[in-house]
Amino acid sequence: MTSKTAYIGGMTWGWTGIRGTWSGEQADRSMELMAERLNVNWTAIALGALQDHAHATEIKFREEPTVTDEEVRYAIRKAKELDLNVCLKPVVNCADGTWRAHINFFDLDVPCEPKWSDWFASYTEFILHYARIAEETGCEMYCIGCEMVQTDRRESEWRQLIAEVRKVYSGIVTYNCDKYQEGQIKWWDAVDVISSSGYYPIDSWEEQLDRIEKVITEYDKPFFFMEAGCPSREGSQHIPNDWGLPGAPSEEVQRLFYETMFAHSDKRDWVGGFMLWDWPSRLYEESEAAANDDYCMYGKQAEQTVRSYYGAKISKKAVGGSVK
């Protein structure tokens, strides 16, 4: 499917998709401000669904707190009204707080123990459910998973899942691998676009881009950062993936991180863009921006950095290109 522009100048919206927060005046205003303030041409509409813990085999995506299907369609429709390309991104989380990267099972089936086959059956149902919505609503891209590090080695299951997704969804298919994992996945040939989470220390971007470039060259696929960002917090530029890092609020830290990330990425013509992290459906008041130490850059110095960068990048790209 051809996108409106070849460059992905995007922002993740709505995480984690708490039921009751994706429609109505506040949600509308949030997305409108995102489009207006950041010059985005894409958004990743990202929702979370829960399994009880890292070794559970049922993903309860139809239950609270996950947003309803009606809310998902509402958010996609709003993005389309704002002339944004949409990547729908359903993600599984663990209700006990364990990070999804630790979802794992024995590689050899053992009686009375949870099995990969049971988990992938539930995960496939989950992913196909939203793939159908992505198709019905005309989403340009669909993300089949996010930072599922321990599952990445299950190559045959992922290939089968992708084959099933393609039966119901005709757009661009990607998988969002975790930071440092780009070279660990052996099934990149099965997706249309390679994407990863770009939470790299501010002083290691050249090293990491050198490493990622080898993977992109091997598979000859388009690439973009499906996630990338930094909290506006002292110290976060050195470990931007740590959302709980202690530190005082600092707009300067966040701005400098973005300036550095963009500058290094600009040297690599294979970096096809960013889906930055993140923009909530319920924004804090702009007057509170200086005291906010999270990833959202609403009302902060980095907002203008992103706006200027995207404005320049998107204007240089010919309309009618394709990331597929």
The amino acid at 80: K
What CATH number is given to the structural domain containing 61? 3.20.20.80
Does 151 reside within a domain? yes
Q: What is the pLDDT of residues 67-96, one digit of tens each?
A: 999 999 999 999 999 999 999 999 999 999
Please, are residues 8 and 224 in contact by the beta-carbon 8 Å criterion?
Answer: yes
Confidence of residue 315 (pLDDT cuts 50, 70, 90): confident
Q: How far apart are CA 79 and CA 37, in angstroms?
A: 14
Does 322 reside within a domain? no
Q: How far apart are CA 187 and CA 175, in angstroms?
A: 10
Peptide bond into 278 cis (omega under 30): yes
Does 287 reside within a domain? yes
Does 233 reside within a domain? yes
Number of domains observed in the structure of the chain: 1
Read off the pLDDT of each residue in 297-311 and give the average, rounded to a whole number: 98
**Which residues are within 8 A (CB) of 293 and not within 5 positions of it... i.e. 6 or more apart?**
231, 232, 233, 247, 248, 249, 250
Task: List the structure tokens of 189.
Answer: 């040939």
**Which residues are within 8 A (CB) of 218 and not within 5 positions of it... i.e. 6 or more apart?**
none
Query: By CB neighbour count within 10 A (0-12 exposed, 13-18 middle, 19+ buried), where does 319 fall?
Result: exposed
Q: Which domain holds residue 44?
A: 8-316
Does 298 reside within a domain? yes
Q: What is the pLDDT of residues 136-168, one digit of tens each?
A: 999 999 999 999 999 999 999 999 999 999 999
Does 3 reside within a domain? no
pLDDT at 316: 66
Checking if the pLDDT of 124 tops 50, the result is: yes
pLDDT at 320: 34
Q: What is the pLDDT of residues 209-253, one digit of tens each?
A: 999 999 999 999 999 999 999 999 999 999 999 999 999 999 999
Confidence of residue 322 (pLDDT cuts 50, 70, 90): very low
Does 110 reside within a domain? yes
